[in-house]
Amino acid sequence: MDLFITCKEGFEKILASETALSRGVVQTKGRGWIISRWQETPALDLCFAYHILENPLTVSAASLNSFTDKLADLFLTHIKDMRIDGPWGFEFSSSGNEQLIHRAKTVEKGWLEKISKKVSRVAKLSKKGVPHSPQLSEGFFVHFTDFDQAFVSFKALSLGQQRMQMDPQAPSRSYLKLEEAFRIFGHEPKENETVVDLGAAPGGWSFSALKRGALVTAVDNGPLKGVVKSHPNMTHLQEDALTYRTHQPQPVDWLICDILEQPDIVLELIHKWVSQKWCRYFIVNFKIGRTDPIVILKKLKHPQKGLPPHCKSLSIRQLYHNREEITVLGETKE
């Protein structure tokens, strides 16, 4: 099986190395994408992947009209003998500059108009977007890699990354990372749940939890800013986040951490919290700028020494709002 996989631009080699961990072999790659081949069941829960398209077809055309016609014909041929009664997803995306993005949108518009004339009932059931799901979903998915080339698939999935909207009251843009992580995780703090934010200053992640009505303990020697520092649900402990220990008899509901430290130090810290069952859920950011991220992934996923033995669920993602970072999301075992 071949998979067309998109990623953040500049991380193609790292994504290729990640697929190699599960015996994927890269066939070719370009700006913000790779094609990897698996002889066995492929890995879909990839950290550095954004979208995954199964067994992509290459479509080439010189003009917008030619692209529109070819893609419409391809879709209509595919569904000719199918009965479609429920929603189905579609997406026209691209790698590269604004001109290519515009081309993809223009072809998408023409394609949708064309299929609406041919199969109006089916077209009305369409839903824009790649489904965020652990399994590949059927639909029609197109990714432009150049003005005259696109890859097309009838099955795809999204790992959930998405651009989030900034709140003007948030003390820092790191707020966007936690908002995105909550969306991917499918869980978020509820009113009156307890949250410990390690390395909290200036308070972007704490702000995200406070917005949801959580009771937040921010641990950082540095100062908090804005509405966070005077919020009635906020307790600020000016002490070292690396040595802080919760004294509550029950686990805190959430541990969140976006501390500026070496990955090995953060892993040791989080491993202690998770293995000792000091928290129920956790979202932790790892800075990977000066470290081989594949080494970090191996340590995080190690079946004995890593986090899996202590977790009900564990996901690792490079978020849209991450830079040289990855984010770990999980639920601990009871």
Q: Is the peptide bond before 202 cis (omega within 30 degrees of 0)?
A: yes
Task: Calculate the alpha carbon distances from 245 to 203, 240, 321 in Å.
Answer: 20, 10, 29
Q: CA-based angle 330:182:36, to the nearest 5? A: 70
Owner of token pair 């541990």? 255
User: E strands of the chain, at which residues?
Assistant: 2-6, 25-30, 33-37, 51-54, 57-60, 88-94, 126-128, 137-146, 149-158, 194-198, 215-219, 234-237, 252-257, 279-287, 311-317, 325-332
Contact 207, 171 (CB under 8 A): yes
Q: CA-based angle 307:45:54, to the nearest 5? A: 170
Query: Closest Cα to residue 126, out of 118, 115, 134?
Result: 115
Q: Taken in order 142, 143, 149, 151, is the CA torsion positive or negative?
A: negative
* Helix H or strand E segment including 14: helix 12-21
Contact 85, 121 (CB under 8 A): no
- Examine the residue annotation and report whether 114 is marked as an active-site residue of this protein: no
Of the residues 8, 114, 177, 287, only one is catalytic, namely 287
* 3-state secondary structure string across 224-284: CCHHHHHCCCEEEECCCCCCCCCCCCCCEEEEEECCCCCHHHHHHHHHHHHHCCCEEEEEE
| Residues tagged active-site | 287
